[in-house]
Amino acid sequence: MYPSVTRLRLHLPDMQTVQFDPEDMDMDILRDPHNQQTTLTAFFNLCLAYPNETANLLYPDCPRHYSWKKSTGTWVKRQRRSCTVGRVYFVPPSAGERYYLRILLYNVPGPTSFDSLRTYNGILYESFQDACSTRGLLETDEEWDVCLTEAATFKTGHQL
């Protein structure tokens, strides 16, 4: 398929999915850095390591400029320009903080952590919702329109 699509993880701090073998009940799996690294956390690390290159980079645009290497859990700069599209997992407004996190990732360039997304004008806000509200991202119904339009692309009329 063209263009290729890279699915981008979306999770709250320390809430990423961990895969493990149920036969092996080794609890060290939770402390394994490879299991803690997701496309989102690696994006924060990328922005932290290369602030000048990523100053205007949004999370959904990352796959256009960087390639995800699953084996190392890192983003690597693309050698050639690509038509890869980044697609952040859909989150309905009823998901609460994850929904507001998604809004911030689509609007805040170059974040270096979850806290940097919640920070605006030097103030660290208590929640992603507060950060969205302070940034003026919730003042109109535009975000609801975007949410419904996106849902309509993969839901049936009955499901909507």
Looking at per-residue pLDDT, the higher value among 76 and 33 belongs to 76
Would you call 155 helix, strand, or coil by DSSP? Answer: coil
Query: Residue 26 is inside which H or E element, if any?
Result: none
Question: Residues 37, 9: contact at Cβ < 8 Å?
Answer: no
Identify the top-confidence range among 50-54, 89-93, 137-141: 50-54
Backbone angles phi, psi at 86, to 5 degrees: -95, 130
pTM of the predicted protein model = 0.79
- Mean pLDDT computed over 106-122: 95
Question: Residues 6, 87: contact at Cβ < 8 Å?
Answer: yes
3-state DSSP helix/strand/coil % of the chain, to nearest 5: 40, 10, 45
Nearest to 115 by CA among 52, 48, 51, 65: 48
The DSSP output letter for 49 is H
| pLDDT score of 20 more than 90 | no
As beta bridge partners, residue 87 has: 7
Cα 121 from chain centroid? Answer: 22
Looking at residue 54, what is its pLDDT?
95
Give the pLDDT band (50/70/90) at residue 100.
very high
Torsion sign across C-alpha atoms 84, 86, 87, 89: positive
Question: Residues 3, 83: contact at Cβ < 8 Å?
Answer: yes
Backbone angles phi, psi at 158, to 5 degrees: -65, -40
